[in-house]
Structure 1
Amino acid sequence: MKLHQSNIAGLNIFTAYGEGYVAVNHQKYEKNLIVLPESMTEDWTTAKVDSLTEADMARLLTLGTEIVLLGTGGRLRFPAGPLLRPFAPAGIGLEVMDLQAACRTYNILAAEGRKVAAALLFD
């Protein structure tokens, strides 16, 4: 699905997504990544939802964001509860959703100037 024609004020935005991929500023990605409005991390983790580690999630706490959107692939799946607990005390909202919803939500929040990150896991 195509989302936007071009990026907003030089920000990283999702311009498309489909089965097994997302496009950020028209560049296609097929592996786990973290997208922030001004930067991207392509080597975040190779884990799937059920194999995420504390170290994977701890990296998300260091991004300097107010909210992290965790996209869990083609369907909504929640990581183990203990992995989610550190976010609230750190003052960081964590929303778990399927990958497509994470892309759409990220674009809205990034366009509003929010400090948001999309951490995407591919199936």
Structure 2
Amino acid sequence: MAISGSKGGIEIRAAHFPGRAPIDAYGNGGFRFADMSHKGSILCLPSGIHGWEPKTPPIISIHDIGRIVEEAGGIEILLVGTGTELRPLPQDLRAVLREHHISADPMSTGAAVRTYNVLLAEDRAVAAALIAVE
């Protein structure tokens, strides 16, 4: 979240970097990218990098992918970083993503970060849902 002052007091806004950027580092409960850092999990989407709080990490559910579905037209591959271990995606989640023509690949968060950076450099239609790891 970003905090800024205003005449009416403090305004709290959702964390968002309005661009695509490689992930420079991960760990200690967060990520570094674009000379910035974020504590917590993130979504890397065509619209930018967003702070994200899955409902039941490290397993994500259909309730966690609303923003991904909203941007489905710009996403072909979704990399899902499930923490330190590979965890399968629930079938209902896979079905919704397939309906939107998105191929989902779960993997550890470290592997997802590395793969995301490669596909981003290749200018592929990639997105990532990355659960923060310590």
Range into which the TM-score falls when normalised by the shorter chain: 0.7 to 0.9
Aligned residue in 2 for 1:76: 86
Aligned residue in 2 for 1:6: none
Aligned residue in 2 for 1:23: 32
For structure 2, the residue ranges without an aligned partner over 5 or more in a row are 1-18
Aligned residue in 1 for 2:65: 57
- Counterpart amino acid of residue 92 in structure 1: I
State, as a whole percentage, how many aligned pairs show the same letter.
32
Aligned residue in 1 for 2:129: 119
Moved beyond 6 Å, runs of 4+: none
Aligned-pair CA distance for 1:27: 2.1
CA distance in 1, matches of 2:79, 2:88: 12
Q: Secondary structure at the match of 1:86?
A: helix
Q: Secondary structure at the match of 2:99?
A: coil
Aligned residue in 1 for 2:57: 48
Work out whether residues 40 and 131 of structure 2, in 8 Å CA contact, stay in contact via their aligned partners in 1: yes
After superposition, what is the alpha-carbon deviation per residue over 1:6-54, rounded to whole angstroms, capped at 9, x for unaligned?
xxxx84111112343321123222311101365111145353133x332
- Counterpart amino acid of residue 69 in structure 2: L
CA distance in 2, matches of 1:101, 1:53: 20
Q: Which stretch shifts more, 95-104 or 63-72?
A: 63-72
Aligned length: 113
Aligned residue in 2 for 1:35: 44
**Which structure has the larger Rg?**
2
Query: What RMSD in Å do the two structures reach over aligned CA positions?
Result: 2.2
Structure with the higher fraction of residues in strand conformation: 2
Q: Secondary structure at the match of 1:87?
A: helix
**TM-score, scaled to structure 2:** 0.71
Work out whether residues 13 and 24 of structure 1, in 8 Å CA contact, stay in contact via their aligned partners in 2: yes
Q: Secondary structure at the match of 2:54?
A: coil
- Counterpart amino acid of residue 62 in structure 1: E
For structure 1, the residue ranges without an aligned partner over 5 or more in a row are 1-9
